[in-house]
């Protein structure tokens, strides 16, 4: 590298200085280290070159003549094929070293890898077809290099499968979120409709209670009017002068006196001949009867209705509403 003075080239014959070796592993490690350190690019000629590569380059360059320096692709492919051709000597050397290590798992793994074209080509590439390259020190690295294509393929397949699973998961998640949003929207719409229906029912029940209160108050006023009319008739029969055509006068006065005595007795004892109050049972009975007429009897059961003596109290489970006339 000092002799090159930092100059790099992709042409072996313009590299100025190279170190020839028959140790393929040394050439590979040197190339890798130079690339890692940044002193050479992956496509440039490394400082250490295997003599087989150098011989092939010289043969390809000089064998074509000085007038044609272009290397045909068929010759390049033939050279690569020759280098990567599986040589039993290399495989046997690797197997022998593995057996010496006494690792049965490695032996089975080697038999499996050699049967695969990519692993066998990787072995030939790293050893350059030389049976002297494999040794106990670099056997682990050779195994790793032979496994590398399949590990890379497994990683790619795993990454592809993982990406597909992630994509499917995202699609399922998007569908689930869309379904949740749709269900939430439908649920909210149903809740709004239910609340609206409840408000309408509550309004209808308020109107029902108000109308029933009017009916009950009207009946109560009618009873009071009848009571006042009866009292007036009794007063006339008992104390006021009767017309001449009413005979016998003593009989009418006696009947009025008896009625007056009875009313006085009932009043003193706390009883009454004509009940003017509105009982709870009567009010609820009238309410249910009017609810059946309006087809509200089933919905009326959803609310608590209480008769307060002159008005209804209607509970809506959240707040109480009062309907009263007076």
Parse the chain into domains and list their residue ranges: 12-84, 88-174, 177-323
Q: How far apart are CA 24 and CA 49, in angstroms?
A: 8
Name which of 70-74, 128-132, 265-269, 298-302 the model is least confident about.
70-74
pLDDT reported for residue 111: 67
pLDDT reported for residue 319: 37
Q: Each residue of 231-240: pLDDT tens digit?
A: 777 666 666 5
Average of pLDDT values for 179-208? 86
Do residues 259 and 234 lie in contact, with contact meaning Cβ atoms separated by under 8 Å? yes
Position 63 confidence tier, pLDDT thresholds 50, 70, 90: low
pLDDT reported for residue 321: 40
Name which of 188-202, 234-248, 301-315 the model is least confident about.
234-248
Q: Which residues are CB-neighbours of 114 under 8 A, at least 6 positions away?
A: 86, 91, 120, 123
pLDDT at 173 over 80: yes
Comparing CA positions, the residue from 239, 228, 205, 212 lying closest to residue 274 is 228
Position 112 confidence tier, pLDDT thresholds 50, 70, 90: low
State what percent of residues in the chain have pLDDT above 90: 2
Q: Which two tokens stand for residue 248?
A: 């016998």
Name which of 33-42, 105-114, 158-167, 206-215 the model is least confident about.
105-114
pLDDT at 306 over 70: yes
More confident residue, 82 or 256: 256
Position 316 confidence tier, pLDDT thresholds 50, 70, 90: low
Q: Which residues are CB-neighbours of 126 under 8 A, at least 6 positions away?
A: 24, 25, 28, 133, 142, 145
Q: How far apart are CA 23 and CA 11, in angstroms?
A: 21
Average of pLDDT values for 52-68? 67
Question: What CA–CA distances, in Å, run from 30 to 6, 13, 37, 130, 216?
Answer: 16, 19, 11, 18, 112
pLDDT at 20 over 80: yes
pLDDT reported for residue 180: 92
Q: What is the dihedral of CA 45, 48, 52, 53, to 10 degrees?
A: -10
CA end-to-end span of the chain: 114
Name which of 10-19, 106-115, 172-181 the model is least confident about.
106-115
Q: Which two tokens stand for residue 7?
A: 């100059």
Q: Each residue of 267-304: pLDDT tens digit?
A: 666 555 555 667 778 888 888 888 888 777 777 777 77
DSSP lists the bridge partners of residue 323 as 312
Q: How far apart are CA 204 and CA 294, in angstroms?
A: 9
pLDDT at 257 over 50: yes
More confident residue, 65 or 176: 176
pLDDT at 129 over 60: yes
Q: How far apart are CA 6 and CA 68, in angstroms?
A: 30
């Amino acid at each position: 590298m000092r002799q090159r003075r930092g100059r790099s080239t992709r042409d072996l014959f313009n590299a100025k200085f190279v170190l020839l070796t028959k140790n393929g592993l040394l050439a590979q490690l040197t190339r890798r280290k130079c690339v890692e350190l940044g002193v050479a690019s992956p496509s440039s000629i490394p400082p250490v070159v295997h003599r087989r590569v150098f011989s092939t380059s010289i043969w390809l360059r000089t064998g074509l003549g000085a007038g044609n320096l272009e290397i045909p692709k068929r010759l390049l492919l033939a050279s690569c094929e020759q280098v990567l051709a599986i040589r039993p000597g290399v495989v046997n050397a690797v197997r022998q070293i593995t057996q010496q290590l006494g690792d049965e798992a490695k032996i089975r793994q080697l038999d499996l890898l050699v049967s695969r074209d990519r692993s066998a080509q990787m072995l030939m590439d790293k050893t350059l077809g030389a049976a002297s390259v494999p040794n106990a020190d670099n056997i682990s690295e050779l195994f790793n290099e032979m496994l590398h294509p399949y590990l890379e393929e497994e990683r790619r397949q795993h990454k592809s499968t993982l990406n597909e699973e992630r994509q499917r998961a995202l699609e399922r998640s998007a569908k689930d979120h869309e379904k949740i949003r749709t269900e939430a929207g439908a649920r909210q719409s149903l809740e709004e409709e239910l609340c609206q229906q409840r408000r309408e029912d509550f309004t209808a029940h308020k109107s029902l209670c108000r109308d029933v209160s009017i009916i009950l108050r009207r009946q109560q006023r009618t009873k009071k009017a009848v009571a006042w009319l009866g009292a007036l008739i009794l007063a006339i029969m008992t104390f006021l002068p009767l017309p001449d055509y009413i005979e016998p006068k003593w009989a009418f006065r006696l009947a009025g006196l008896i009625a007056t005595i009875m009313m006085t007795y009932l009043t003193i004892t706390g009883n009454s001949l004509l009940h003017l109050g509105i009982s709870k049972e009567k009010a609820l009975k009238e309410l249910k009867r009017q609810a059946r007429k309006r087809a509200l009897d089933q919905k009326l059961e959803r609310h608590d209705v209480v008769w307060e003596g002159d008005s209804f109290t209607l509970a809506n489970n959240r707040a109480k509403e009062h309907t009263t006339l007076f």
